[in-house]
Amino acid sequence: MCGFAGIVNFDGRPAERKALDRMGSSLFHRGPDDSGTHVDGSVGLAFRRLSILDLSPAAHQPMVSPDGNFVMVFNGEIYNYVELRHELESRGCRFRSSGDTEVLLQAYAVWGKDCLSKLNGMWAFLIYDKQRGVVFGARDRFGVKPLYRYRHSNGICFGSEIKAICASGLYTGGINWRVSSKFLLQGLLDEEEDTFYTGIAQVRPGTAFEITLDGSWTQWSYWSTSAIPAAEVTDPVGKFRDIFEDAVRLRMRSDVPVGVCLSGGLDSTSIICAMARIKSGVPTEAAKPLLAFCYMADEYDEKRYIADTLEQTRATLKVLETTPYTLWDSLPKFLRFQDEPVHSMTALIGYELMRLAAMNGVKVILNGQGADETAAGYPNYFREYWRTLVMDGRFRKAWKEVSAHSVGHCGIRNHSAIGALKEACQWQLHMIPAYRRYVSTKQQAANQANSWFQRELSGHLPADDYLSMDGRIETSLKLSVERSPLPIYLRVEDRNSMAHSVEVRLPFLDYRLVSLLFSLPTEWKLKGPLNKFILRQAMEGSIPESVRTRVGKMGFPTPMNKWLAGDLYKPLKDTLRSQEARERGIYNVDQILSDLERHQQGAVDVSGRLFNVAQFELWTRVLKQESSSRG
């Protein structure tokens, strides 16, 4: 796990080493163990290393192939590097190092761009192929590892984080108000290539590209959920169990200590129990403590489930102790690491958990991101499933599922059934262009009438996009992985962990597991009151039954509505009524303050919108400070 930057000049000028040094220095937190810079004419690469595999100098980057034809910077992990190494050695390749970086470089030398289909891992990399005169790059299938680009008049810059591009001295943009307005008015984040910085875009997940030294750019998608075919699987539960166990095993490969973030939920419990089983089978690992890191707000008590898991795994629990004041005070620094606003205060809990892991000497964390989006873990998926059944004319099946869900969740069966029928009819209407235009017009009017912001802000919004939406559960799951919410969660997770020089690995985003889940019917994901049904079946006898059969879901929640009405009321109010906020020219400050008062009194709950405005305001101040420090 590391950070890198790159410069390619299209006019033949040599890449500026000082600019690369600035870019690399801005990423120090991503790689405090080593650094390197390589300049070859108009191509320059800079690197910061966090040593996880092969801690020796042999794994130094930028890495140059023995024949000098290829130069690479790589951020991430290739989990199946041991198996790929054996395959490459059978083809005559020889290795100087023992880690995954050289395996990736040799894989490209042998297979070219086709090497991507062989990789199981998370990655972003650039390879300067001097033979062909191109820079080849790619980002992993799900975008676990980041990669940003900025094209200017004379060339292009790359960076693992936006701050690296800003530090280059080549960036001349500012706030992207199109993205900012979508966030402030609609709460949308990381749904597209564009960022909060004009001209800086992220390379999309599952995407590869080549750029020639004269600026010709070719980009293609090498993997997507839409390309996964339906399949007949003889034993889905057994296959899921086997792939999951292997995914955890591969992600435990490390030359440094490995820990886990533990909530009382199904995902993290499945991971830690698998880790405990795998450790027990390796004599050199069995005696080492298994460290788990946790946060428990008093309002969300999961102690019972966590206690059952600790009893089974014998893990050592490290509990995060923090306060609303501590989290608020850390917000500006947190936003510096994130580069962009985030989705909620829960992101700050993740930031502090990674700090706790680092304080305990842990450099690798396994986490449960991706399970909800691929195995249907969020509550809204039930409604979408029922709606899909109605749209398909499977009324009896829909009624059966609604009834079972209502019993398990103490819901009102008739109300849920009527809601599914109503939504099915609405989505049929969405297929009619005239109706889509009508809905879009209503949404635009609502955005313009938003009393918290100046009317001009809505003018930056793009037209609503219904092209990829059809109201079906299968489409919703694909969009959850590729558009929202998984991309923002992965961005937050990466910046939170790397802020403390910690690497996060995600077993549920092993592409073999995701491919299996998207090849199966929805019945394997949702059944009656249970979400992630196949995971629950696969974990029978492997995790505490209290966790496996629970129907609730928490994660690491924060009582944000309570905090903003209590402990954080004054600092929030001070931020909103400051001269800087009033001079920003986009807020109707008095209206926001009025609604803050109503929130404090319990008349409304606008905690999410309040936090978004507050963090956006603080982010603009951070942006101004960072720009001033760069001169």
Helix (H, G, I), strand (E, B) or coil at 518: helix
Sign for the pseudo-dihedral over CA of 532, 537, 538, 542: positive
Name the pLDDT band for 5 (thresholds 50, 70, 90).
very high
Rounded to whole angstroms, the Cα distance separating 539 from 532 reads 11
State residue 431's pLDDT score. 72
Q: Reply yes or no on whether the pLDDT at 343 is more than 70.
A: yes
Domain of 87, CATH number, reads 3.60.20.10
Q: How far apart are CA 599 and CA 581, in angstroms?
A: 20
Determine the structural domain holding residue 411 and report its residue range: 380-482
How far apart, in whole angstroms, are the C-alpha atoms of residue 413 and residue 399?
A: 9
Please indicate, yes or no, whether residues 337 and 450 belong to a single structural domain of this protein: no
Least confident of 64-73, 197-206, 391-400, 530-539: 391-400
Whole-number average pLDDT of the chain:
93
pLDDT at 26 over 60: yes
343 and 446 belong to one structural domain: no
**Are 294 and 177 in a shared domain?**
no
Q: Establish if 393 belongs to a structural domain.
A: yes
Question: Which of 437, 463, 482 finishes a domain?
Answer: 482
Residues 173 and 89 both lie in one domain: yes
User: How far apart (Å, rounded) are the C-alpha atoms in residues 375 and 271?
Assistant: 15
Identify the weakest region by mean pLDDT among 132-136, 428-432, 518-522. Answer: 428-432
Report yes or no on 417 lying in a domain.
Answer: yes
User: Which pLDDT score is estimated for 467?
Assistant: 47
| The pLDDT value given to residue 56 | 79
Give the tens place of pLDDT for each residue, 353-397.
999 999 999 999 999 999 999 999 999 999 999 999 988 999 999
pLDDT of 608 higher than 50 = yes
6 belongs to a structural domain: yes
**CB neighbour list of residue 450: distance below 8 Å, 6 or more residues apart:** 185, 457, 458
* The two three-digit tokens of residue 241, written as one number: 């169990």
Tokens of residue 255, six digits: 């030359």
More confident residue, 232 or 62: 62
Same domain, 533 and 576: no
Q: How far is CA 455 from CA 196, 246, 587, in A?
A: 20, 53, 9
The pLDDT of residue 58 is above 90: no
- Of 23-27, 327-331, 344-348, 424-428, the one with minimum mean pLDDT is 424-428
Residues 49 and 155 in one domain: yes
By three-state DSSP, how is residue 585 classified? coil
555 is a domain residue: no
pLDDT of residue 414: 64
Domain C-terminal end among 424, 452, 482: 482
In this prediction, residue 345 has a pLDDT band, given cuts at 50, 70 and 90, of very high
Instruction: Mark whether 329 and 472 lie in a shared domain.
Output: no
Which H or E element spans position 40? strand 34-40
Specify the pLDDT at position 408: 82
Q: How many independent structural domains does the chain possess?
A: 4
Q: How confident is the model at residue 53 (pLDDT cuts 50, 70, 90)?
A: confident
Mean of pLDDT values over 116-139: 97
- For 415, left (φ over 0), alpha (ψ -120 to 50), or beta? alpha
pLDDT band per the 50, 70, 90 thresholds, residue 52: confident
What confidence category does residue 412 fall into, taking pLDDT thresholds of 50, 70 and 90? low
Residues 601 and 495 reside in one and the same domain: no
The string of pLDDT tens digits covering residues 504-563 is 999 999 999 999 999 999 999 999 999 999 999 999 999 999 999 998 765 566 799 999
Q: For residue 137, is it within any domain? A: yes
Integer angstrom CA distances of residue 325 from 564, 567, 572, 580, 622: 11, 7, 11, 22, 19
Asked if 217 and 294 sit in the same domain, the reply is no
Residue 417: the pLDDT is 65
Identify whether residues 421 and 501 lie together within a single domain.
no
Phi/psi of residue 541, nearest 5 degrees = 85, -5
Query: How sure is the predictor about 413, in pLDDT bands with cuts at 50, 70 and 90?
Result: low
Report which of 252, 262, 157 is spatially closest to residue 199, judged by C-alpha positions.
157
User: How would you classify the pairing of strands 364-366 and 258-261?
Assistant: parallel
Q: Are 69 and 128 in contact (CB under 8 A)?
A: no
Q: Could you tell me if residue 554 is inside a domain?
A: no
Comparison of pLDDT for 554 and 12, the residue scoring more: 12
Cβ distance 188 to 616 under 8 Å?
Answer: no
**Which residues neighbour 476 within 8 Å (Cβ) at sequence distance 6 or greater?**
381, 384
Among residues 502, 527, 548, which one ends one of the domains?
548
The reply to whether 553 falls in a domain is: no
Residue-level pLDDT at 462:
78
Question: Tokens 């080849």 — which residue?
Answer: 136
Query: Does 401 lie in the same domain as 306?
Result: no
Domain match, 194 and 270 both: no
Over residues 265-276, the mean pLDDT reads 97
